[in-house]
Amino acid sequence: MSIPTESIGSVPRPRELLNALADHAAGRIGDDDLTKLQNQAVADTLGRLEQLGSPVLVDGEQSKPSFATYPVAGLDTLSPEGAVIPFADGHTRQLPALTAGPFRYRTHAVAYLRAAQQHTGLPVKQAVIAPSALSLLYPAEAIVDYSREAFLDDLVDEAEADIRGCLDAGAHAVQLDFTEGRLSLKLDPSGGLLDSFVALNNRVLDRFSAAERARIGVHTCPGGDQDSTHSLDVDYAELLPKLFQLHAGNFYVQLASEADQERVLSIIAEHLPADVRVFVGVTDPIDPRVESAEEVRDRVLLAARHIPVDRLGTCDDCGFAPFADDASTSRETAFAKVKARIEGTRLAAEELGL
């Protein structure tokens, strides 16, 4: 037995691709030219992860406009004036708002998975956005002839299709990005919004069998964009017990950037459901310093004092560039951190006699 280790998702795009995205937005290049560079970036990402010895690959989200909005990018039933997400450094990200129904995904994640599978024979994990995040697209003022309840019914159907398509296409695992979980406690400290998010996500997860849910995971973090977070100041103790009420087989939990990792691990150990694996973050994508393999090893060994090793895995705290224009972390730094995670996890497994 070894300790599994997986990337969370996004990897910084190559400079050539970042330039192409800007040129495409300005109308200087067409769709075909952009797609060609995105495909090249996907192949390079997969190849470099394979060279580093990653047992499970990701495409680095090289072709996604963002981790959150890929299903709706290009829809003509959206207004740009949606929910605003403030980050600690003062910058914001804004979601679009739905203007009419019915709600349908324009792009399903299986398209990214199939494109990645063309470049490798190794297992590929696919990240999808949690339905709770997309529930924020419905505006405060009701849409005429399309109620919020009808929207949520459509959203649940689309989210199920997004996950099932990836499972059916042979994804090693499907990861729901649930960064809005911790943020919800800042927006509503009573926990009511978080409860509604958990209930909505479980409406989707309950449509899958136990065997299928064993391949579905949920990722939580305090956000990570332009080297800043949106909810690191929210007490993790308020989120974690409710996080583990989600009916998933795996959890990917940001930990490396927490000030008191021992406290967080004790909360995880107390509330982790039976027969569930937790991947703890052992590298911090926001910290420009590259962790050593020995530092990662020690973080894994600390986690192993709280969590049975047969239910333990490692990951990065968050994606390195969840929005396509985020260049705050270099591509080289990201791969160096991935290398440290893989090597440090291996060292920990050896010390534990696995």
Nearest CA-CA partner of 343 in 285, 289, 293: 293
Token pair belonging to 156: 């649940």
Beta-sheet pairing, 173-177 with 125-129: parallel
- Contact between 129 and 176 under an 8 Å Cβ cutoff? The reply is yes
- The 10s digit of each residue's pLDDT in 121-176 is 999 999 999 999 999 999 999 999 999 999 999 999 999 999 999 999 999 999 99
CATH number, domain 5-351: 3.20.20.210
Note the maximum CA span of the chain.
Answer: 62
- Tell me which H or E stretch contains 195: helix 192-205
Q: What is the reported pLDDT for 270?
A: 96
Nearest CA-CA partner of 262 in 310, 309, 224, 298: 298
Nearest CA-CA partner of 85 in 94, 76, 98: 94
- What is the pTM for the complete model shown? 0.96
Q: Report DSSP state, residue 67.
A: T
- The 10s digit of each residue's pLDDT in 79-123 is 999 999 999 999 999 999 999 999 999 999 999 999 999 999 999
Q: Is 259 helix (H, G, I), strand (E, B) or coil?
A: coil
- The 10s digit of each residue's pLDDT in 164-217 is 999 999 999 999 999 999 999 999 999 999 999 999 999 999 999 999 999 999
Count of Cβ atoms closer than 10 Å to residue 270 Cβ: 11
- Contact between 338 and 54 under an 8 Å Cβ cutoff? The reply is yes
- Contact between 37 and 87 under an 8 Å Cβ cutoff? The reply is no
Q: What is the reported pLDDT for 324?
A: 87
- Contact between 156 and 200 under an 8 Å Cβ cutoff? The reply is yes
CA geometry: angle at 214 spanning 211 and 217, to 5°? 145
Is pLDDT larger for residue 22 or for residue 294? Answer: 294
User: CA-to-CA distance for 234 and 48, rounded, in angstroms?
Assistant: 35
Token pair belonging to 319: 């994606």
Alpha carbon of residue 267 to chain centroid: 22
Residue 173: beta bridge partners? 125
Q: Sign of the CA dihedral 230, 235, 237, 239?
A: negative
User: CA-to-CA distance for 89 and 227, rounded, in angstroms?
Assistant: 9
Q: Is the pLDDT of residue 256 over 80?
A: yes
- pLDDT bucket at 1, cuts 50 / 70 / 90: low
Q: Is 316 helix (H, G, I), strand (E, B) or coil?
A: strand
Q: Is 303 helix (H, G, I), strand (E, B) or coil?
A: helix
Instruction: Using the CB atoms, write b or e for 102-116: b if 16+ within 10 Å.
Output: ebebebbbbebbbbb
pLDDT above 70: percentage of residues in the chain: 100
pLDDT above 90: percentage of residues in the chain: 96
Which region, left, alpha or beta, applies to residue 301 given φ > 0 means left and ψ of -120 to 50 means alpha?
alpha
